[in-house]
Amino acid sequence: MESQTQAKPQPHILVLPCPLQGHINPMLQFSKRLASKGPRVTLVATSSISKSVKAIASHTINIEIISDGSTESITLDTSTDSDAFFENFKVTVSQSLIKLIETQKRSRHPPKFVVYDSGMPWALNLARELGLDGAPFFTQSGAVNAIYYHGYKGTLKLPLEEPTVSLPSLPLLGANDLPSFMADTGTYRALFRTLLNQLSNIDEANWIFCNTVYELEDEVLNWMTSQWPVKTIGPTIPSIYLDKRLEDDKEYGLSLFKPEVDACLKWLDTMEAGSVIYISFGSLASLEADQMEELTLGLKNSNCHFLWVVRDSEHKKLPANFVQETTEKGLVVSWCNQLEVLAHKAIGCFMTHCGWNSTLEALSLGVPMVAMPQWTDQRTNAKFIVDVWKVGVRIKLDEKGLANKEEIELCIREIMEGESGKEMKTNSVKWKKLAIEAVDEGGSSDKNIEGFVEKLQILANMTKIY
Average pLDDT over residues 182-201: 87
Residues 242 and 391 in one domain: no
CB of 175 closer than 8 Å to CB of 128: no
1 within some domain:
no
- pLDDT band at 71; cut points 50, 70, 90: low
6 within some domain:
no
Residues 48 and 176 in one domain: yes
Residues of the domain holding 356: 261-434
Residues 244 and 269 in one domain: no
159 within some domain:
yes
Is pLDDT above 60 for 108? yes
Residues 450 and 411 in one domain: no
Verify cis geometry, omega within 30 degrees of 0, for the bond prior to 368.
no
Q: CA-to-CA distance for 334 and 264, rounded, in angstroms?
A: 11
26-68 confidence digits (pLDDT tens): 999 999 999 999 999 999 999 988 877 766 656 789 999 999 9
Catalytic annotation on 23? yes
Average pLDDT over residues 145-149: 96
Residues 171 and 291 in one domain: no
Residues 247 and 274 in one domain: no
The larger pLDDT score, comparing residue 221 to residue 6, is at 221
CATH number, domain with residue 145: 3.40.50.2000
pLDDT at 315: 93
- pLDDT band at 5; cut points 50, 70, 90: very low
Is pLDDT above 90 for 451? yes
Residues 230 and 148 in one domain: yes
Name the domain count of the chain: 2
131 within some domain:
yes
Amino acid at 386: V
Q: Cα dihedral sign for 230, 234, 239, 244?
A: negative
pLDDT at 54: 63
Residues 178 and 269 in one domain: no
466 within some domain:
no
370-379 confidence digits (pLDDT tens): 999 998 999 9
Residues 86 and 186 in one domain: yes
Catalytic annotation on 83? no
5 within some domain:
no
Q: Which residues pair with 115 in a beta bridge?
A: 15, 135
Q: CA-to-CA distance for 213 and 226, rounded, in angstroms?
A: 17
417 within some domain:
yes
Is pLDDT above 70 for 413? yes
pLDDT at 348: 98
2 within some domain:
no
- pLDDT band at 77; cut points 50, 70, 90: very low
Which helix (H) or strand (E) is 250 found in, with range? none
Average pLDDT over residues 235-241: 97
DSSP state of 395: P
Residues 442 and 345 in one domain: no
CB of 371 closer than 8 Å to CB of 395: yes
pLDDT at 40: 95
> From the candidates 23, 150, 305, 344, which is the catalytic residue?
23
> From the candidates 12, 68, 117, 150, which is the catalytic residue?
117
CB of 397 closer than 8 Å to CB of 356: no
pLDDT at 75: 53
